[in-house]
Chains A and B, each alone.
Chain A
Amino acid sequence: MRVLITGITGFVGSHLAEFALGQGAEVYGSYRWRSRMENIEAIKNRLHLVECELTDAVSVTRMIDDIKPDRIFHLAAQSFVPTSWHAPQQTLSNNIISQLNIFEAIRGTDTRIQLAGSSEEYGLVYPEETPIKETNPLRPLSPYGVSKVTQDMMGYQYYRSYGIYIIRTRAFNHTGPRRGQVFVTSNFARQVAMIEKGLQEPVVKVGNLEARRDYTDVRDIIRGYWLSLDGGCQPGEVYNICSGNSWKIQAVLDHLLSLSKVKVKVEVDPERLRPSDVPILVGDSTRFNKATGWKPEIPIEKTLEDLLNYWRERV
Protein backbone atom coordinates (compact mmCIF):
# COMPACT_ATOMS: atom_id res chain seq x y z
CA MET A 1 0.00 0.00 0.00
CA ARG A 2 1.27 3.44 -0.95
CA VAL A 3 0.73 6.04 1.72
CA LEU A 4 1.38 9.75 1.34
CA ILE A 5 1.80 11.87 4.46
CA THR A 6 1.82 15.62 3.99
CA GLY A 7 3.71 17.32 6.78
CA ILE A 8 5.75 14.17 7.38
CA THR A 9 8.61 16.07 9.00
CA GLY A 10 6.34 17.48 11.68
CA PHE A 11 5.41 16.21 15.09
CA VAL A 12 2.36 14.12 14.12
CA GLY A 13 3.64 13.27 10.64
CA SER A 14 6.83 11.70 11.94
CA HIS A 15 4.95 9.48 14.40
CA LEU A 16 2.48 8.46 11.71
CA ALA A 17 5.34 7.64 9.33
CA GLU A 18 6.88 5.30 11.91
CA PHE A 19 3.52 3.63 12.46
CA ALA A 20 2.83 3.26 8.73
CA LEU A 21 6.24 1.66 8.18
CA GLY A 22 5.40 -0.75 10.97
CA GLN A 23 2.22 -1.66 9.10
CA GLY A 24 4.28 -2.57 6.04
CA ALA A 25 3.24 0.46 3.98
CA GLU A 26 5.36 2.12 1.34
CA VAL A 27 5.58 5.57 2.89
CA TYR A 28 5.90 8.78 0.91
CA GLY A 29 6.13 12.18 2.48
CA SER A 30 6.02 15.73 1.22
CA TYR A 31 8.40 18.32 2.55
CA ARG A 32 9.51 21.86 1.74
CA TRP A 33 13.08 22.91 1.18
CA ARG A 34 13.12 24.61 4.57
CA SER A 35 11.59 21.68 6.48
CA ARG A 36 13.65 20.47 9.44
CA MET A 37 14.39 16.76 9.22
CA GLU A 38 15.30 15.97 12.82
CA ASN A 39 11.94 14.27 13.59
CA ILE A 40 12.42 11.71 10.83
CA GLU A 41 16.19 11.35 11.04
CA ALA A 42 15.97 7.76 12.35
CA ILE A 43 13.65 6.54 9.56
CA LYS A 44 14.67 8.84 6.73
CA ASN A 45 16.32 6.12 4.66
CA ARG A 46 13.13 4.04 4.71
CA LEU A 47 10.94 6.86 3.43
CA HIS A 48 10.34 8.29 -0.02
CA LEU A 49 10.57 12.03 0.45
CA VAL A 50 9.20 14.38 -2.18
CA GLU A 51 9.85 18.10 -2.23
CA CYS A 52 6.50 19.78 -2.78
CA GLU A 53 5.01 23.22 -2.20
CA LEU A 54 1.42 22.36 -1.32
CA THR A 55 0.12 25.84 -2.08
CA ASP A 56 1.28 25.36 -5.67
CA ALA A 57 -1.23 23.37 -7.73
CA VAL A 58 1.35 22.27 -10.31
CA SER A 59 3.68 20.98 -7.64
CA VAL A 60 0.89 19.00 -5.95
CA THR A 61 -0.51 17.51 -9.15
CA ARG A 62 2.95 16.36 -10.19
CA MET A 63 3.54 14.73 -6.81
CA ILE A 64 0.20 12.92 -6.80
CA ASP A 65 0.64 11.77 -10.40
CA ASP A 66 4.09 10.40 -9.60
CA ILE A 67 3.18 8.62 -6.36
CA LYS A 68 -0.37 7.50 -7.10
CA PRO A 69 -1.07 7.02 -3.39
CA ASP A 70 -3.70 4.63 -2.10
CA ARG A 71 -4.07 6.71 1.04
CA ILE A 72 -3.26 10.28 1.97
CA PHE A 73 -2.97 11.62 5.47
CA HIS A 74 -3.17 15.38 5.10
CA LEU A 75 -1.40 16.78 8.14
CA ALA A 76 0.50 19.73 6.69
CA ALA A 77 -0.81 23.06 7.93
CA GLN A 78 0.06 26.29 9.60
CA SER A 79 -1.07 24.83 12.91
CA PHE A 80 0.26 27.20 15.52
CA VAL A 81 -2.61 29.22 16.95
CA PRO A 82 -0.59 32.29 18.11
CA THR A 83 0.93 32.65 14.64
CA SER A 84 -2.54 32.64 13.15
CA TRP A 85 -3.31 35.81 15.11
CA HIS A 86 -0.33 37.57 13.56
CA ALA A 87 -0.98 36.23 10.05
CA PRO A 88 -4.70 35.47 9.75
CA GLN A 89 -5.00 35.74 5.98
CA GLN A 90 -1.86 33.72 5.39
CA THR A 91 -3.08 31.01 7.77
CA LEU A 92 -6.40 30.72 5.96
CA SER A 93 -4.83 30.86 2.54
CA ASN A 94 -2.11 28.33 3.30
CA ASN A 95 -4.40 25.77 4.93
CA ILE A 96 -7.29 26.10 2.52
CA ILE A 97 -5.39 26.27 -0.76
CA SER A 98 -3.04 23.40 0.13
CA GLN A 99 -6.00 21.14 0.74
CA LEU A 100 -7.81 22.37 -2.34
CA ASN A 101 -4.81 21.48 -4.50
CA ILE A 102 -4.74 17.96 -3.08
CA PHE A 103 -8.47 17.47 -3.65
CA GLU A 104 -8.19 18.64 -7.23
CA ALA A 105 -5.23 16.34 -7.83
CA ILE A 106 -7.06 13.22 -6.59
CA ARG A 107 -10.44 13.88 -8.21
CA GLY A 108 -11.37 10.84 -10.28
CA THR A 109 -8.99 8.49 -8.45
CA ASP A 110 -9.68 5.89 -5.75
CA THR A 111 -7.35 7.54 -3.27
CA ARG A 112 -8.65 7.69 0.27
CA ILE A 113 -7.84 10.80 2.26
CA GLN A 114 -7.98 11.63 5.95
CA LEU A 115 -8.28 15.29 6.90
CA ALA A 116 -6.71 16.34 10.17
CA GLY A 117 -9.23 18.76 11.61
CA SER A 118 -9.02 20.08 15.12
CA SER A 119 -11.00 20.61 18.30
CA GLU A 120 -10.16 24.29 17.81
CA GLU A 121 -13.03 24.23 15.32
CA TYR A 122 -15.47 24.04 18.23
CA GLY A 123 -13.96 27.12 19.82
CA LEU A 124 -16.31 28.57 22.40
CA VAL A 125 -18.13 25.70 24.07
CA TYR A 126 -20.66 26.18 26.85
CA PRO A 127 -20.34 23.94 29.94
CA GLU A 128 -23.64 22.20 29.17
CA GLU A 129 -22.29 21.24 25.72
CA THR A 130 -19.46 19.09 27.08
CA PRO A 131 -18.38 16.47 26.28
CA ILE A 132 -18.47 17.88 22.78
CA LYS A 133 -20.14 15.81 20.09
CA GLU A 134 -19.54 16.26 16.36
CA THR A 135 -22.93 17.96 16.07
CA ASN A 136 -21.97 20.82 18.36
CA PRO A 137 -22.09 24.31 16.79
CA LEU A 138 -18.69 25.50 15.59
CA ARG A 139 -17.61 28.81 17.14
CA PRO A 140 -13.87 28.99 16.48
CA LEU A 141 -11.94 31.54 18.50
CA SER A 142 -8.79 31.85 16.42
CA PRO A 143 -7.96 32.36 12.74
CA TYR A 144 -6.45 28.86 12.85
CA GLY A 145 -9.80 27.52 14.04
CA VAL A 146 -11.59 29.32 11.21
CA SER A 147 -9.15 27.82 8.69
CA LYS A 148 -9.82 24.34 10.06
CA VAL A 149 -13.60 24.81 9.91
CA THR A 150 -13.23 25.84 6.30
CA GLN A 151 -11.04 22.83 5.48
CA ASP A 152 -13.59 20.62 7.20
CA MET A 153 -16.47 22.09 5.16
CA MET A 154 -14.48 21.78 1.95
CA GLY A 155 -13.92 18.12 2.81
CA TYR A 156 -17.63 17.56 3.07
CA GLN A 157 -18.26 19.48 -0.12
CA TYR A 158 -15.69 17.53 -2.16
CA TYR A 159 -17.05 14.25 -0.87
CA ARG A 160 -20.57 15.29 -1.82
CA SER A 161 -19.74 16.89 -5.15
CA TYR A 162 -17.13 14.47 -6.45
CA GLY A 163 -17.49 11.34 -4.36
CA ILE A 164 -13.93 11.51 -3.05
CA TYR A 165 -13.32 9.08 -0.17
CA ILE A 166 -12.77 11.68 2.52
CA ILE A 167 -12.78 11.06 6.26
CA ARG A 168 -12.91 14.23 8.34
CA THR A 169 -11.36 13.91 11.78
CA ARG A 170 -11.28 16.41 14.61
CA ALA A 171 -8.49 15.49 16.95
CA PHE A 172 -8.45 17.13 20.32
CA ASN A 173 -5.18 18.17 21.97
CA HIS A 174 -2.36 15.70 21.56
CA THR A 175 1.16 15.72 22.78
CA GLY A 176 4.20 13.54 23.28
CA PRO A 177 7.87 13.35 22.30
CA ARG A 178 8.85 15.71 19.44
CA ARG A 179 6.08 18.16 20.17
CA GLY A 180 7.32 21.61 19.11
CA GLN A 181 8.44 23.77 21.98
CA VAL A 182 5.92 26.49 21.13
CA PHE A 183 3.08 24.24 22.29
CA VAL A 184 2.22 24.47 25.96
CA THR A 185 2.95 20.93 27.21
CA SER A 186 6.23 20.78 25.36
CA ASN A 187 7.15 24.28 26.37
CA PHE A 188 6.64 23.47 30.06
CA ALA A 189 8.58 20.20 29.75
CA ARG A 190 11.45 21.96 28.03
CA GLN A 191 11.56 24.71 30.66
CA VAL A 192 11.71 22.08 33.41
CA ALA A 193 14.51 20.25 31.60
CA MET A 194 16.40 23.52 31.12
CA ILE A 195 16.03 24.41 34.81
CA GLU A 196 17.23 20.93 35.82
CA LYS A 197 20.44 21.49 33.85
CA GLY A 198 20.92 25.02 35.16
CA LEU A 199 20.34 26.52 31.72
CA GLN A 200 17.38 28.63 32.86
CA GLU A 201 16.69 30.41 36.12
CA PRO A 202 14.12 28.48 38.19
CA VAL A 203 11.15 30.39 36.84
CA VAL A 204 8.58 28.71 34.59
CA LYS A 205 6.85 31.22 32.31
CA VAL A 206 3.21 30.40 31.70
CA GLY A 207 0.12 31.68 29.92
CA ASN A 208 -3.47 30.82 30.80
CA LEU A 209 -3.38 27.96 33.33
CA GLU A 210 -7.15 27.86 33.80
CA ALA A 211 -8.01 26.41 30.39
CA ARG A 212 -9.05 22.75 30.34
CA ARG A 213 -8.01 20.47 27.51
CA ASP A 214 -8.66 16.90 26.44
CA TYR A 215 -5.18 15.42 25.97
CA THR A 216 -4.35 12.24 24.11
CA ASP A 217 -0.94 10.77 23.36
CA VAL A 218 0.15 11.49 19.80
CA ARG A 219 0.86 7.77 19.28
CA ASP A 220 -2.78 7.03 20.04
CA ILE A 221 -3.94 9.81 17.76
CA ILE A 222 -1.98 8.59 14.74
CA ARG A 223 -3.25 5.07 15.30
CA GLY A 224 -6.71 6.62 15.09
CA TYR A 225 -5.82 8.41 11.86
CA TRP A 226 -4.63 5.15 10.38
CA LEU A 227 -7.81 3.30 11.41
CA SER A 228 -9.99 6.07 10.00
CA LEU A 229 -9.19 4.95 6.45
CA ASP A 230 -9.59 1.23 7.11
CA GLY A 231 -13.25 1.13 6.13
CA GLY A 232 -15.14 1.45 9.40
CA CYS A 233 -15.72 5.18 9.01
CA GLN A 234 -18.30 6.62 6.67
CA PRO A 235 -16.85 8.74 3.83
CA GLY A 236 -17.85 12.40 4.13
CA GLU A 237 -18.56 12.00 7.83
CA VAL A 238 -16.73 13.75 10.66
CA TYR A 239 -15.26 12.06 13.76
CA ASN A 240 -13.89 13.37 17.02
CA ILE A 241 -10.70 11.66 18.20
CA CYS A 242 -10.06 12.29 21.87
CA SER A 243 -9.73 10.71 25.29
CA GLY A 244 -12.84 12.27 26.85
CA ASN A 245 -10.82 13.33 29.92
CA SER A 246 -10.04 16.94 30.65
CA TRP A 247 -6.83 18.26 32.15
CA LYS A 248 -6.43 21.77 33.47
CA ILE A 249 -3.23 23.31 32.08
CA GLN A 250 -2.28 23.95 35.71
CA ALA A 251 -2.50 20.18 36.33
CA VAL A 252 -0.22 19.48 33.35
CA LEU A 253 2.35 21.84 34.80
CA ASP A 254 1.96 20.38 38.29
CA HIS A 255 2.46 16.85 36.96
CA LEU A 256 5.60 17.79 35.05
CA LEU A 257 6.99 19.49 38.15
CA SER A 258 6.18 16.38 40.20
CA LEU A 259 8.47 14.41 37.86
CA SER A 260 11.37 16.67 38.73
CA LYS A 261 13.23 17.58 41.90
CA VAL A 262 13.72 21.24 41.00
CA LYS A 263 11.95 23.98 42.91
CA VAL A 264 10.53 26.64 40.63
CA LYS A 265 8.55 29.84 40.67
CA VAL A 266 5.64 30.10 38.24
CA GLU A 267 5.24 33.46 36.48
CA VAL A 268 2.53 34.59 34.07
CA ASP A 269 3.95 36.03 30.87
CA PRO A 270 1.36 38.36 29.24
CA GLU A 271 2.88 37.54 25.84
CA ARG A 272 1.56 34.00 26.22
CA LEU A 273 -2.06 35.10 26.63
CA ARG A 274 -4.26 35.08 23.51
CA PRO A 275 -6.75 37.74 22.39
CA SER A 276 -9.46 35.15 22.97
CA ASP A 277 -9.00 31.69 24.37
CA VAL A 278 -11.11 28.57 24.49
CA PRO A 279 -11.90 27.88 28.16
CA ILE A 280 -12.77 24.20 27.93
CA LEU A 281 -12.41 21.50 25.29
CA VAL A 282 -13.47 17.98 26.22
CA GLY A 283 -14.63 15.68 23.49
CA ASP A 284 -16.89 12.73 22.96
CA SER A 285 -15.39 10.19 20.57
CA THR A 286 -18.20 7.63 20.78
CA ARG A 287 -18.88 7.85 17.04
CA PHE A 288 -15.24 7.10 16.20
CA ASN A 289 -14.96 4.38 18.87
CA LYS A 290 -17.97 2.59 17.42
CA ALA A 291 -16.79 2.92 13.83
CA THR A 292 -13.24 1.71 14.39
CA GLY A 293 -12.93 0.17 17.85
CA TRP A 294 -10.27 2.76 18.66
CA LYS A 295 -9.54 3.69 22.25
CA PRO A 296 -6.62 5.61 23.73
CA GLU A 297 -4.09 3.27 25.32
CA ILE A 298 -1.36 5.51 26.70
CA PRO A 299 -2.17 7.40 29.91
CA ILE A 300 -1.35 11.08 29.78
CA GLU A 301 0.93 10.74 32.82
CA LYS A 302 3.13 8.42 30.73
CA THR A 303 2.96 10.86 27.81
CA LEU A 304 4.18 13.74 29.96
CA GLU A 305 6.99 11.63 31.36
CA ASP A 306 8.11 10.67 27.84
CA LEU A 307 7.91 14.30 26.78
CA LEU A 308 10.03 15.46 29.70
CA ASN A 309 12.60 12.73 29.01
CA TYR A 310 12.64 13.78 25.35
CA TRP A 311 13.64 17.29 26.36
CA ARG A 312 16.10 16.07 28.99
CA GLU A 313 18.02 14.40 26.16
CA ARG A 314 18.01 17.52 24.01
CA VAL A 315 18.65 20.62 26.12
Chain B
Amino acid sequence: MRVLMTGASEGLGSALAAYLAGVIGAENVFLTDDGLSSAKALALCQTAPACLEQEEAAAVINEIRPDRLILMPNRSGEDYRRIFERNAYRSIYFMEALRNADFSCRTAFVTSADIYQPSSGLLSEEDPMLAPTPFAACLIAMDELAYLYFKAYKLETIRIRPFECINAMPTAEEIKLRSEELIGKSAPLLFDYISIEEASRALWTILERGTPGTAYNLCSGHGIASGAGAEIGWVGNPSKILELGIAFDKFNN
Protein backbone atom coordinates (compact mmCIF):
# COMPACT_ATOMS: atom_id res chain seq x y z
CA MET B 1 0.00 0.00 0.00
CA ARG B 2 1.46 3.36 -1.03
CA VAL B 3 0.01 6.72 -0.06
CA LEU B 4 0.74 10.08 -1.62
CA MET B 5 -0.36 13.08 0.39
CA THR B 6 -0.38 16.84 0.00
CA GLY B 7 -0.70 19.44 2.72
CA ALA B 8 1.14 17.67 5.52
CA SER B 9 1.52 20.92 7.37
CA GLU B 10 1.25 21.27 11.13
CA GLY B 11 -2.03 20.02 12.55
CA LEU B 12 -4.18 17.30 11.02
CA GLY B 13 -1.93 16.80 7.97
CA SER B 14 1.24 15.98 9.89
CA ALA B 15 -0.67 13.92 12.44
CA LEU B 16 -2.19 11.88 9.64
CA ALA B 17 1.25 11.39 8.06
CA ALA B 18 2.62 10.09 11.37
CA TYR B 19 -0.40 7.84 11.81
CA LEU B 20 -0.03 6.40 8.30
CA ALA B 21 3.69 5.86 8.84
CA GLY B 22 2.75 3.66 11.79
CA VAL B 23 0.05 1.78 9.90
CA ILE B 24 1.64 1.10 6.52
CA GLY B 25 5.30 1.98 7.12
CA ALA B 26 7.04 5.31 6.66
CA GLU B 27 8.67 4.06 3.48
CA ASN B 28 5.21 3.93 1.87
CA VAL B 29 4.05 7.43 2.79
CA PHE B 30 5.01 10.16 0.32
CA LEU B 31 4.48 13.81 1.21
CA THR B 32 4.60 16.61 -1.33
CA ASP B 33 7.02 19.28 -0.24
CA ASP B 34 5.73 22.69 -1.26
CA GLY B 35 7.47 24.69 1.44
CA LEU B 36 4.57 24.48 3.87
CA SER B 37 4.88 20.87 4.93
CA SER B 38 5.87 20.00 8.49
CA ALA B 39 9.63 19.41 8.76
CA LYS B 40 8.97 16.68 11.30
CA ALA B 41 6.55 14.87 9.00
CA LEU B 42 8.89 15.19 6.03
CA ALA B 43 11.76 13.75 8.05
CA LEU B 44 9.61 10.82 9.09
CA CYS B 45 8.14 9.95 5.67
CA GLN B 46 9.24 10.06 2.03
CA THR B 47 9.39 13.37 0.19
CA ALA B 48 7.80 14.01 -3.21
CA PRO B 49 7.97 17.12 -5.42
CA ALA B 50 5.38 19.88 -4.86
CA CYS B 51 3.37 18.94 -7.97
CA LEU B 52 2.27 22.50 -8.68
CA GLU B 53 2.51 21.85 -12.43
CA GLN B 54 0.57 19.34 -14.52
CA GLU B 55 3.67 17.58 -15.85
CA GLU B 56 5.23 17.19 -12.43
CA ALA B 57 2.03 15.84 -10.91
CA ALA B 58 1.72 13.29 -13.73
CA ALA B 59 5.36 12.23 -13.34
CA VAL B 60 4.97 11.77 -9.58
CA ILE B 61 1.76 9.76 -9.98
CA ASN B 62 3.38 7.48 -12.54
CA GLU B 63 6.54 7.04 -10.53
CA ILE B 64 5.01 6.42 -7.10
CA ARG B 65 1.89 4.66 -8.40
CA PRO B 66 0.00 5.35 -5.17
CA ASP B 67 -2.90 3.21 -4.06
CA ARG B 68 -4.26 6.15 -2.09
CA LEU B 69 -4.00 9.86 -2.65
CA ILE B 70 -4.90 12.25 0.16
CA LEU B 71 -5.40 15.89 -0.82
CA MET B 72 -5.18 17.80 2.42
CA PRO B 73 -5.98 21.52 2.22
CA ASN B 74 -2.95 23.71 2.31
CA ARG B 75 -3.42 27.15 3.72
CA SER B 76 -0.89 29.65 2.51
CA GLY B 77 -1.95 33.00 3.87
CA GLU B 78 -4.87 34.85 2.37
CA ASP B 79 -3.46 35.15 -1.14
CA TYR B 80 -6.15 33.71 -3.38
CA ARG B 81 -3.71 32.84 -6.14
CA ARG B 82 -1.49 30.75 -3.88
CA ILE B 83 -4.46 29.11 -2.21
CA PHE B 84 -5.90 28.03 -5.54
CA GLU B 85 -2.55 26.87 -6.90
CA ARG B 86 -1.84 24.64 -3.92
CA ASN B 87 -5.32 23.25 -3.60
CA ALA B 88 -7.78 23.44 -6.51
CA TYR B 89 -5.33 23.50 -9.43
CA ARG B 90 -3.12 20.81 -7.93
CA SER B 91 -6.20 18.64 -7.41
CA ILE B 92 -6.99 18.98 -11.10
CA TYR B 93 -3.43 18.03 -12.06
CA PHE B 94 -3.65 14.87 -9.97
CA MET B 95 -7.09 13.94 -11.24
CA GLU B 96 -6.04 14.39 -14.85
CA ALA B 97 -2.96 12.23 -14.19
CA LEU B 98 -5.06 9.50 -12.56
CA ARG B 99 -7.57 9.66 -15.37
CA ASN B 100 -4.80 8.67 -17.74
CA ALA B 101 -3.07 6.20 -15.41
CA ASP B 102 -3.16 2.43 -15.93
CA PHE B 103 -3.92 1.79 -12.25
CA SER B 104 -6.63 2.87 -9.85
CA CYS B 105 -6.08 5.07 -6.84
CA ARG B 106 -8.67 6.04 -4.28
CA THR B 107 -8.50 9.75 -3.45
CA ALA B 108 -9.60 11.70 -0.39
CA PHE B 109 -10.45 15.36 -0.96
CA VAL B 110 -10.17 16.75 2.54
CA THR B 111 -11.80 20.14 3.04
CA SER B 112 -13.41 21.59 6.15
CA ALA B 113 -16.68 22.38 7.89
CA ASP B 114 -15.96 26.02 7.06
CA ILE B 115 -17.77 25.44 3.77
CA TYR B 116 -21.13 25.28 5.55
CA GLN B 117 -23.24 28.15 6.79
CA PRO B 118 -23.59 28.20 10.57
CA SER B 119 -26.70 26.48 11.80
CA SER B 120 -28.66 25.95 15.00
CA GLY B 121 -29.03 22.26 14.13
CA LEU B 122 -26.74 19.47 13.02
CA LEU B 123 -25.16 20.10 9.63
CA SER B 124 -25.62 17.31 7.13
CA GLU B 125 -23.56 16.76 4.00
CA GLU B 126 -26.44 18.05 1.86
CA ASP B 127 -26.63 21.42 3.60
CA PRO B 128 -25.85 24.42 1.36
CA MET B 129 -22.27 25.58 1.10
CA LEU B 130 -21.21 29.19 1.45
CA ALA B 131 -17.74 30.66 1.73
CA PRO B 132 -17.01 33.11 4.55
CA THR B 133 -13.28 33.21 3.72
CA PRO B 134 -11.08 32.97 0.60
CA PHE B 135 -9.83 29.65 1.88
CA ALA B 136 -13.38 28.29 2.17
CA ALA B 137 -14.14 29.39 -1.42
CA CYS B 138 -11.20 27.30 -2.57
CA LEU B 139 -12.26 24.35 -0.42
CA ILE B 140 -15.67 24.43 -2.05
CA ALA B 141 -13.97 24.30 -5.44
CA MET B 142 -11.99 21.24 -4.27
CA ASP B 143 -15.10 19.56 -2.95
CA GLU B 144 -16.94 20.14 -6.22
CA LEU B 145 -13.97 18.89 -8.25
CA ALA B 146 -14.02 15.61 -6.30
CA TYR B 147 -17.68 15.14 -7.14
CA LEU B 148 -17.10 16.12 -10.76
CA TYR B 149 -14.26 13.67 -11.38
CA PHE B 150 -16.27 10.88 -9.79
CA LYS B 151 -19.37 11.60 -11.88
CA ALA B 152 -17.55 12.27 -15.12
CA TYR B 153 -14.73 9.73 -15.04
CA LYS B 154 -15.66 7.31 -12.23
CA LEU B 155 -12.47 8.12 -10.36
CA GLU B 156 -12.74 6.86 -6.78
CA THR B 157 -12.97 10.17 -4.97
CA ILE B 158 -14.25 10.60 -1.45
CA ARG B 159 -15.02 13.98 0.09
CA ILE B 160 -14.14 14.39 3.75
CA ARG B 161 -15.12 17.49 5.70
CA PRO B 162 -13.44 17.63 9.13
CA PHE B 163 -14.94 19.86 11.78
CA GLU B 164 -12.74 21.49 14.46
CA CYS B 165 -9.66 19.26 14.83
CA ILE B 166 -7.63 20.24 17.90
CA ASN B 167 -4.82 19.07 20.13
CA ALA B 168 -6.22 20.87 23.18
CA MET B 169 -9.22 23.01 23.92
CA PRO B 170 -8.62 26.45 22.38
CA THR B 171 -7.92 29.50 24.51
CA ALA B 172 -10.39 32.38 24.75
CA GLU B 173 -8.20 34.39 22.38
CA GLU B 174 -8.09 31.56 19.82
CA ILE B 175 -11.86 31.21 19.99
CA LYS B 176 -12.28 34.94 19.47
CA LEU B 177 -10.03 34.89 16.38
CA ARG B 178 -11.82 31.87 14.95
CA SER B 179 -15.18 33.51 15.49
CA GLU B 180 -14.00 36.70 13.75
CA GLU B 181 -12.72 34.66 10.82
CA LEU B 182 -15.96 32.75 10.42
CA ILE B 183 -18.67 35.32 11.10
CA GLY B 184 -16.78 38.60 11.01
CA LYS B 185 -17.17 39.36 14.71
CA SER B 186 -16.51 37.96 18.15
CA ALA B 187 -19.61 36.10 19.28
CA PRO B 188 -20.36 32.84 21.08
CA LEU B 189 -20.65 29.90 18.69
CA LEU B 190 -21.11 26.16 18.82
CA PHE B 191 -18.17 24.04 17.70
CA ASP B 192 -17.80 20.33 17.11
CA TYR B 193 -14.34 19.46 18.48
CA ILE B 194 -12.43 16.31 17.62
CA SER B 195 -8.91 15.42 18.71
CA ILE B 196 -6.39 15.45 15.90
CA GLU B 197 -5.28 11.90 16.67
CA GLU B 198 -8.81 10.59 16.48
CA ALA B 199 -9.52 12.61 13.36
CA SER B 200 -6.45 11.08 11.68
CA ARG B 201 -7.66 7.57 12.33
CA ALA B 202 -11.20 8.44 11.29
CA LEU B 203 -10.02 10.07 8.07
CA TRP B 204 -8.15 6.93 7.09
CA THR B 205 -11.16 4.77 7.96
CA ILE B 206 -13.41 6.92 5.79
CA LEU B 207 -10.99 6.63 2.89
CA GLU B 208 -10.80 2.85 3.28
CA ARG B 209 -14.44 2.07 3.99
CA GLY B 210 -16.31 5.00 2.47
CA THR B 211 -18.26 4.96 -0.77
CA PRO B 212 -16.69 6.77 -3.74
CA GLY B 213 -18.57 9.88 -4.79
CA THR B 214 -19.85 10.46 -1.27
CA ALA B 215 -19.22 13.35 1.11
CA TYR B 216 -18.60 12.62 4.80
CA ASN B 217 -18.70 14.97 7.73
CA LEU B 218 -15.83 14.14 10.04
CA CYS B 219 -17.53 15.20 13.25
CA SER B 220 -18.76 14.03 16.60
CA GLY B 221 -22.25 15.52 16.54
CA HIS B 222 -21.67 17.19 19.91
CA GLY B 223 -21.65 20.95 20.08
CA ILE B 224 -19.56 22.80 22.64
CA ALA B 225 -20.46 26.44 23.18
CA SER B 226 -17.61 28.92 23.02
CA GLY B 227 -19.52 31.22 25.35
CA ALA B 228 -22.86 31.85 27.01
CA GLY B 229 -25.79 32.27 24.65
CA ALA B 230 -24.30 30.38 21.69
CA GLU B 231 -27.16 29.40 19.43
CA ILE B 232 -25.59 28.70 16.08
CA GLY B 233 -22.35 27.20 14.88
CA TRP B 234 -20.75 24.30 13.10
CA VAL B 235 -21.87 21.00 14.59
CA GLY B 236 -22.02 18.10 12.19
CA ASN B 237 -24.42 15.24 11.74
CA PRO B 238 -22.20 12.15 12.11
CA SER B 239 -24.71 9.58 10.85
CA LYS B 240 -22.69 8.68 7.75
CA ILE B 241 -19.46 8.03 9.62
CA LEU B 242 -21.28 6.13 12.35
CA GLU B 243 -22.28 3.69 9.62
CA LEU B 244 -18.56 3.18 8.97
CA GLY B 245 -18.00 2.31 12.63
CA ILE B 246 -16.39 5.62 13.60
CA ALA B 247 -17.00 7.15 17.01
CA PHE B 248 -15.07 9.66 19.09
CA ASP B 249 -14.08 9.75 22.73
CA LYS B 250 -12.40 13.07 23.45
CA PHE B 251 -13.88 16.55 23.68
CA ASN B 252 -17.40 15.24 23.48
CA ASN B 253 -18.63 15.71 26.97
**Chain A residues at the B interface, C-beta cutoff of 8 Å:** 85, 88-89, 92-93, 96-97, 100, 124, 135, 137-143, 145-147, 149-150, 153-154, 156-157, 160-161, 275-276
Contacts and interface: CB of A to CB of B under 8 A. Distances in A.
A57 to B, nearest CB: 9
Interface string B131-150: 11110111011001101100
Interface in B144-174: 144-145, 147-148, 151-153
A153 B92 contact: no
Nearest to B81: A97
Given A96-B80, A97-B81, A161-B184, A275 B147 contact: no
Contacts of B128: 135, 137-138
A141 B130 CA distance: 18
B54 A89 contact: yes
B96 A141 contact: no
A142 B134 contact: no
Interface in B57-107: 80-81, 84, 88-89, 92-93, 96
B142 to A, nearest CB: 9
Contacts of A92: 84, 88-89, 92, 141
* Main secondary structure on B side of the interface with A: helix
A157 B84 contact: no
Given A156-B131, A275-B153, A93 B144 contact: no
Given A137-B127, A137-B128, 16 more contacts: A85-B152, A88-B96, A89-B93, A92-B89, A92-B141, A93-B89, A100-B81, A138-B128, A139-B144, A141-B152, A142-B148, A146-B145, A149-B144, A153-B141, A154-B137, A276-B151
Contact of A146 (B130, B133, B141, B153): B141
Given A89-B54, A96-B84, A135-B128, A157 B148 contact: no
Nearest to B145: A146
A89 B144 contact: no
Contacts, number: 89
> What are the 4 closest A-B residue pairs judged by CB atoms, nearest first?
A153-B131, A275-B152, A276-B152, A153-B137
Contacts of B140: 149-150, 153
Given A89-B89, A156-B130, A143 B148 contact: yes
How many interface residues does chain B have, given as a range?
20 to 34
A100 B152 CA distance: 28
B126 interface: yes
26 contacts: A85-B152, A89-B54, A92-B89, A92-B141, A96-B80, A96-B141, A100-B80, A100-B81, A137-B126, A137-B129, A139-B147, A140-B147, A140-B148, A142-B148, A145-B148, A146-B148, A149-B140, A150-B138, A150-B144, A153-B130, A153-B137, A154-B131, A156-B130, A157-B137, A275-B152, A276-B151
Contacts of A124: 151
Nearest to A151: B137
Contacts of A89: 54, 89, 92-93
Contacts of B153: 275
A139 B132 CA distance: 19
Contacts of A93: 84, 89
